[in-house]
Structure 1
Amino acid sequence: MSAQDTVAPEEAAASDEIVEAPLEESSEEVADVAPLEESTGVDPESLKMDWYILKVQSNREKSICDGLQRRVAVAGLDEFFGDILVPTEDVAEFKNGKRRVVKRKLYPGYIVVHMAINDDTWFLVRETPGIGDFTGAAGKPTPMLQHEVERIVKSVRPDDDGAEPIKTAIPFKVGDRVRIKERTFENFEGDVEEIDEANGRVTVLINIFGRSTPVELEHWQIEAV
């Protein structure tokens, strides 16, 4: 089945710990699926397969993905399905002075599937425990846009030369009120204006002599107010 980082001076000296954080805690049994009585005899290369997004129960994406894969196999519908994935990206987190790389879901509460739509495949997907529905309009599944597909494929099968740098997980969002912990503007308060996960930096808008002034900082140089 087929799929960044400015380190604080204090943290750079800390040991790096690369781990893969578990995406799931729960498992799920697969409901009985009746296999097809005989092979469809369809040439897989003649099938029109597209990528679709499925709404699933939050925090159970991986187990639901695995359950769907098993149901496809039991029903003998493998030729109508390609990849069934929980799209993720690698991000760096800092905890207790250690840097670790973890998997972060690109679309929490969703999984993606490469498949050909027909009555059998549509019914199998819809009847899989934990799956809500296809995303789309008027009850009709809508294929993903090409740039969305490319992002997913790149996250699953990155090129050796073209892999993106690992992002830094920054625990702030635009609009958050924060306080600068060090450097020239220590103890100044301001609002987060921009976040650069690729480089682990945050732009904070502070008031200097009555003027709103953007200041670029490392994410570890600020704290929530």
Structure 2
Amino acid sequence: MEKLGQWYTLQALSGKENKARQDLERRIEQDSMQDSVLEVLLPTEKVTTVRQGKKITQNRKFYPGYLFVNVDLIDENGIMKEDVWHFVKDTYGIINFLGGDNPVALSDEEIQDIKRQLEKTEDVAKPKIEYTVGEIIKIKEGPFESFEGTVTEVDIERGKLQVSVVIFGRSTPVEVEYDQVEKNDFD
């Protein structure tokens, strides 16, 4: 008979979510709690930023300050297993279950939505800042530096924008990379 737990949301120290996940996974292994704590999930996506002219790929958390855990927390009589609850809650970096002393399980639809979100982002590093068609941007480097333009096309896969800029009184399409532009601040 396969044991199935329920998914719960854990509040974690901000910026320490990954450490909390690692510590919980390590403790599960050390204390042989694999039958009670079935899976720990920290949803992230790869994001590309440019710093000092270099492209850097980082992992960005979908839900900063939160982890998700599949845990067998409720016994067959509907009573919370205090030992399992304390085991998870007493892990470094974990503040509490969402719901505190009365944790609320996620629905199947909620956890499936989170997992689908993860599947969409696998192996695709996307830019940290997203642009939309019609948005006015400022070109910060390249031959059209300091020109303002309107985004006419967004190519997320290649990290490029098609921008319409006015040169000598005429609207001209220009292709630029995400890291060559910035959102225009209308101060």
> What TM-score, normalized to structure 1?
0.54
Letter in 2 for 1:108: P
Q: CA deviation at 1:60?
A: 1.0
1:103 equivalent to 2:66? Answer: no
CA deviations 1:173-214 (Å, max 9, x no partner) are 88x98533479986455899x9875553569899xxxxxxxx
Q: 1:145 to 1:205 in 2, by over 3 A?
A: farther
Amino acid at match of 1:135: L
Structure 2: gaps spanning 5 or more residues:
75-80, 166-173
DSSP 3-state at the match of 1:139: coil
May I ask how many residue pairs the two structures share in their alignment? Answer: 168
Amino acid corresponding to residue 84 of structure 1 in structure 2: V
Pick closer, same or farther for the CA change 1:109–1:190 going to 2, 3 Å: farther
Query: Cα 1:66–1:187, aligned 2, differ >3 Å: closer, same or farther?
Result: closer
Residue 73 of structure 2 is aligned to residue 117 of structure 1: yes
1:148 and 2:114 correspond: yes
**Given that residues 127 and 178 in structure 2 are in contact (C-alpha distance below 8 angstroms), is that contact kept between their aligned partners in structure 1?**
no
Give secondary structure in 1 for the equivalent of 2:35.
Answer: helix
Residues 83 and 138 of structure 1, relative CA distance in 2, 3 Å threshold: closer
2:125 to 152, 163, 166: 166
Q: Output the TM-score relative to the length of structure 2.
A: 0.62
Residue matched to 1:220: 179
- State the shift of 1:57 in Å: 0.3
For residue 72 of structure 1, give the secondary structure of its aligned residue in structure 2: helix
- Aligned to 1:79, the other structure's residue is in SS state coil
- 5+ unaligned residues in a row in structure 1: which ranges? 1-42, 207-214
Report what 2:94 is aligned to: 131
| Cα distance change of structure 1 residues 74 and 218 upon mapping to structure 2, 3 Å threshold | closer
How many Å separate the matches in 2 of 1:181 and 1:217? 10
Structure with greater strand share of residues: 2
Give the conservation status (yes or no) of the 8 Å contact 1:94–1:100: yes
Deviation per CA, 1:149-196: give whole Å up to 9, x if none.
2334x38xx9xxxx55321223x788x98533479986455899x987
* 1:18-167 superposed matches below 5 A: 45=2, 47-118=3-74, 119=81, 120-135=83-98, 139-143=102-106, 144-152=110-118, 154=119, 163-167=122-126
Residues 167, 199 of structure 1: 8 Å contact kept: no
Instruction: Give the alignment's Cα RMSD to 1 decimal.
Output: 4.3
SS, match of residue 90 in structure 1: strand
Asked if the contact 1:182–1:221 (Cα under 8 Å) also holds between the matched residues in 2, the reply is yes
Cα offsets for 1:126-168 (capped at 9, x unmatched): 222321222359933222431212334x38xx9xxxx553212
Confirm whether residue 200 of structure 1 aligns to residue 159 of structure 2: yes
In structure 1, C-alpha distance between the alignment counterparts of 2:100 and 2:154, rounded to whole Å = 33
8 Å Cα contact 2:43-2:114 kept in structure 1: no
Cα displacement (A) at 1:58: 0.9
Percent of residue pairs identical: 32
Q: Which has the higher contact order (CA 8 A, sep 6+)?
A: 1
CA distance in 1, matches of 2:7, 2:61: 17
